[in-house]
């Protein structure tokens, strides 16, 4: 199940769209910002019903 979400890029502060695959459960991945091309560390968790629980984004280098 794919979930479309919008997040704020932690580098350029633009709002960008991401597509998360919730069927794979909790994930940590790196997505390149489509605006500034910086690597965004994306972490999300999925609840017992397969719904998006928490979503956080951070700079890859912390």
Which residues, 6+ apart, have CB-to-CB distance to 44 below 8 Å?
20, 26, 27, 52, 53, 54, 55, 56
Instruction: Using the minimum distance from each CB to Zn ion, give the nearer residue, 11 or 45.
Output: 11
Residue number with CB closer to Zn ion (38 or 52): 38
**Closer to Zn ion by Cβ: residue 18 or 52:** 18
d(CA 3, CA 1): 7
Shortest reach from residue 60's CB to Zn ion, in Å: 12
Q: Which residue ranges make up the site for Zn ion (CB under 5 A)? A: 9, 11-12, 33, 35-36
């Amino acid at each position: 199940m794919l979930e479309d979400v919008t997040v704020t890029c932690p580098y350029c502060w633009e709002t960008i769209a991401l597509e998360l695959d919730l069927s794979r459960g909790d994930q940590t991945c790196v997505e390149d910002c489509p605006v500034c091309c910086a690597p965004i560390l994306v972490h999300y968790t999925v609840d017992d019903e397969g719904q998006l629980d928490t979503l956080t984004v951070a700079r890859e280098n912390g």
